[in-house]
Every structure is written in C-alpha cells, then in structure tokens.
Chains A and B, each alone.
Chain A
Amino acid sequence: MSGAKEFSAPDMAMRTAGILFVFVIIFTGLLSGAYQWTKPSIEASAAEEKMRLVDEVLPRSEYDNALLEDSLALPATPELGLSETSTLYRARRDKQPAALIFEAVAPDGYAGKIRLIMAVRADGKVAGVRVTQHKETPGLGDYVEVKKDKNKARPWITQFNGMGLSEVTDKAWKVKKDGGEIDYYAGATVTPRAVTKAILKAVKWTEANRDRLFAEGVSQ
C-alpha cells in the first residue's frame, strides 16, 4: 500500500502506528457502543434466566416476595462445597420464611465438580434440586441433569423433592449400593453418590443456619 511519495523509516513507523491506533479507537468505540446499548436488555434477560432456574426448584405459588431482591451474600461455605462467595435467595410468604435458594457444589463427581442449585423449605424439606454444570461422562453419569435423563416422567434428581432429615435419616441418605434409599442407574455410581452427599450436607447446613439466614439483614 505505498502512497504517492516515499516515506522514510521513522515516518513509516509513525504512519503505521497511527493507522493501527485509528483502527483500535474505531473498534473499541464500536464495542463500547454495542455494550452500552445492549446492557439493559442483557441484564433483564439474565434476571429472567435466574428466575427460570429458580422456578425449576421452587414453584412460584410457594412464595410472594420479590425473591431476587431478597438476597444474602454468602462467604465461602465449605458445607456447601463452595470455595467462592455466592448469593443466597430467600423466599417468603406473608413475610414468613418459606424457602432458601442457594448454590451447592459436589466436589467429588467422576469428572470434577458438579454444580447444583437447590431450594430447601423452612420445614427442612428439599423443594427441588437441579444440576447446573457438570463434566460427567455423556451417556453414563450425566443423567443427574434433567435434560439428559432418559426417564422424562420422573427424572432421577426429582427423587429428592420433599426429602428432609425427618423422613430420611443420615444413614439412609445414600445411594442404594451404599445401603441407602436413593435409586441410581447401574454403570455410574460415582456421580449420583457425589450429588446425594452434597445434597445431604446442604440440608444439614440449612438445618443449622436457617434462623440466622432468614433473619440476617432484615429489620424486624
């Protein structure tokens, strides 16, 4: 792309740098413009997405507060398998505690961490659990995810619905292979075992911290 006249080397370098600079300015401008312009609707759909996930673990009929606004920042909680901070949401009905919605991690899946979102009612019973992220083997251990479960009528993960420590004791809260009550599919035990254990730990954690979690940051 030589111009009409010859450039000396420093001039050439300056000119090239200048052109690169102009391109950088233009495209950075384009990016920030697109970012600013799309930000409100992206935030709206992220909130909607969160609510869709919450709807899977807790029916809307069970609470009447603005759930996403009634949140609590959790520090790293080893009982939930979380080594990073997370957010807990509190569902209330007529201002009375209804359920806690939070994330948990099963650290010992067959291929690393299995992330869960779960809701535990104020009476200590599981309202619902969903796997949000995992790297389990396709076709073997991935049935913990509802979408991959071949049993569409009653996916594996839904057997925890309604379970609480008053119905199922510590000892029975295991997969059947380990002498417990939880069903699993032959061929992949590590995955359901990890999920079952993580749910038990999380239920125990809510049992111990429930009052504090519902009360924290709320003026009576």
Chain B
Amino acid sequence: MITRDEFKTIAGNGIWKQNTSIVQILGLCPLLAVTTNAVNGIMLSLATILVMALSGVAIASLRNLIPHEIRIPVFILIVAALVTVVDLLFNANLHALYLVLGIFIPLIVTNCIVLARVEAFAAKNPPLQSTLDGIFMGVGMLWTLGLLGGMRELLGNGTLFGGIDMVFPSLHPIQVLPESYPGFLLALLPPGAFILLGCMIAWKNWMEARAARRAQTKPPAPVATAGCH
C-alpha cells in the first residue's frame, strides 16, 4: 500500500516541485494551442488526468513483464491504445462531453508528458503509486493551464471562463473588464502564451528562491530537464 509520506511526496511533486508545465516544461504544443481560455486549459488537463491515471496503472501492472530493451515501443503501444479506447468510449457513451473534450483527447497521444511520466515513474513503481503520480501530475497541469488560460483570456478579451457554455449550457462567461475593453490580441496568440508562461516560471523560481533564503539554505540546483513538444 502507500504511506502518508509517499503520498505527500507524489502529490507535492506533481502539483509543485516537478510541475509538468512550469518545471519540466513538457507538452508545450497542446499548452500553446489550447490555453486561449481557462475552460479549454482545464478540460485538456482533465482529459490528461484520465489518460495518465489509466496508463500509470496499466504500465505499472505490466512493468515486470516488459523487457527493458523494448520498453519504449511497448509504452507507446499501451498509451496510444488506451487513449484511442478512451476516445471511442467517450464518443459512444458521453457524447456531450466528447464534443467538448473530443479534440483534446487525440492531442494527448502526442503529449510527451504521458510518456515521460510512464518512463520516469510507472515503469519503476507499483500501480497505486503510479496512478496517483499520473493524477497529481495532471492536477499540476490543471492549475497551471487553468491559470495561464485565465490570464490569457482576461488580458486578451477581458472575460473569464469563455466557452463555459459549451460545457454547461446554463453558465455564461464572466465579463471582468468593462465591455469597452479593446482587447489585447497578443495574449491570445501563441507568443502571448510563451511570454505568460515565462512569467509563471519566473514567479515559481522567485517563490522557491525566497523560500530557500528564508530557510537560510542554498537554493537547490536547477534540475536540468530535456524539453520536448
């Protein structure tokens, strides 16, 4: 089973310390394309949480059967098959939700967050821990993409939760800035996403540096991570 400490470590890594978007900088492609508003960012993250939990449990259960030399093709096979099955099941049984999440699910196959976590965690840990790792990595992505999407649409359109009516038809986007706000197109275009993501990374590093100063210890050396799209 799982100890309290283990749980805390997994949750902390996913949500903050190893946050996929602002620490590992993984999955930039969907990040740029999707976070034009908070709702899209949150929806993509929810779909990713589902896929990461499933692939975590599947690969962790099979990890002792997969020879080390061919683990990558097998992981890709498993992840792609699971995503496709999820896609088909959503389409067949939860069609309303599929119309909202549908475009995001195929995006996840190409998202290297899934493969990266499977390789780094699920291949070495038991199913329960791997599922939790998948879920918390997704939660980390959820708040980052939600926040990034929220900032982009607030700056770009002056609204929040645009497109919520596609998920819940009875709800409407909130007009935060006055109706006369002229809009700021840059925030809605991909360069705006890069700039705001850069600001978020800087903010995170600043928070960590401050915490380290307060603890009178040297800040941890930045973890070198290989980015991919």
Taking Cβ atoms with an 8 Å cutoff, the residues of A that contact B are 1, 15-16, 19-20, 23-24, 27-28, 30-31, 34-35, 37-38, 41-42, 45, 48-49, 137-140, 147
Task: Report if B225 contacts A (CB, 8 A).
Answer: no
**Contact with A38, one of B70, B92, B99, B185 (Cβ below 8 angstroms):** B92
In the bound complex, do residue A20 and residue B70 qualify as a contact, i.e. CB atoms below 8 Å apart?
A: yes
Q: Which residues of B contact A147 (CB under 8 A)?
A: 166
In the bound complex, do residue B67 and residue A45 qualify as a contact, i.e. CB atoms below 8 Å apart?
A: no
**Interface residues on chain B, number (Cβ under 8 Å):** 28
Alpha-carbon gap, A20 to B75, bound state (A):
11
Task: Report if B156 contacts A (CB, 8 A).
Answer: yes
15 contacts between A and B (CB under 8 A): A1-B66, A19-B65, A30-B81, A31-B84, A34-B84, A34-B85, A37-B92, A38-B88, A42-B88, A42-B92, A48-B95, A49-B99, A137-B185, A138-B188, A139-B185
Task: Report if B222 contacts A (CB, 8 A).
Answer: no
In the complex, residue of chain A having the shortest beta-carbon distance to the beta carbon of B96: A45
Main secondary structure of the interface of A (DSSP, over half): helix
Q: Which residues of B contact A49 (CB under 8 A)?
A: 99
**Contact with A16, one of B70, B85, B183, B188 (Cβ below 8 angstroms):** B70
B168-205 contacts to A, CB under 8 A, are 183, 185, 188
Taking Cβ atoms with an 8 Å cutoff, the residues of B that contact A are 36, 64-70, 73-74, 77-78, 81, 84-85, 88-89, 91-93, 95, 99, 156-157, 166, 183, 185, 188
In the bound complex, do residue A45 and residue B91 qualify as a contact, i.e. CB atoms below 8 Å apart?
A: yes
Q: Which residues of A contact B99 (CB under 8 A)?
A: 49
In the bound complex, do residue B81 and residue A45 qualify as a contact, i.e. CB atoms below 8 Å apart?
A: no
Alpha-carbon gap, A1 to B123, bound state (A):
12
Main secondary structure of the interface of B (DSSP, over half): helix
Q: Which residues of A contact B166 (CB under 8 A)?
A: 147
Q: Which residues of B contact A38 (CB under 8 A)?
A: 88-89, 91-93
In the bound complex, do residue A1 and residue B67 qualify as a contact, i.e. CB atoms below 8 Å apart?
A: yes
In the bound complex, do residue A27 and residue B77 qualify as a contact, i.e. CB atoms below 8 Å apart?
A: yes
**Contacts A34-B84, A139-B185, A147-B166 supplied; 6 other A-B pairs, CB < 8 Å:** A27-B81, A34-B88, A35-B88, A45-B91, A45-B92, A138-B185
Q: Which residues of B contact A139 (CB under 8 A)?
A: 156-157, 183, 185, 188
* Minimum Cβ distance to chain A for residue B32 (Å): 13
Alpha-carbon gap, A138 to B95, bound state (A):
26
Alpha-carbon gap, A38 to B94, bound state (A):
11
Alpha-carbon gap, A16 to B92, bound state (A):
36
In the bound complex, do residue B91 and residue A20 qualify as a contact, i.e. CB atoms below 8 Å apart?
A: no
Alpha-carbon gap, A35 to B36, bound state (A):
32
In the bound complex, do residue A16 and residue B67 qualify as a contact, i.e. CB atoms below 8 Å apart?
A: yes
In the bound complex, do residue B91 and residue A42 qualify as a contact, i.e. CB atoms below 8 Å apart?
A: yes
Q: Which residues of A contact B183 (CB under 8 A)?
A: 139
* Minimum Cβ distance to chain A for residue B157 (Å): 6
* Minimum Cβ distance to chain A for residue B39 (Å): 13
In the bound complex, do residue B85 and residue A31 qualify as a contact, i.e. CB atoms below 8 Å apart?
A: yes
In the complex, residue of chain B having the shortest beta-carbon distance to the beta carbon of A138: B188
* Minimum Cβ distance to chain B for residue A128 (Å): 21
In the complex, residue of chain A having the shortest beta-carbon distance to the beta carbon of B163: A147
Given A16-B69, A45-B95, answer yes or no on A23-B84 (Cβ-Cβ < 8 Å): no
In the bound complex, do residue B64 and residue A1 qualify as a contact, i.e. CB atoms below 8 Å apart?
A: yes
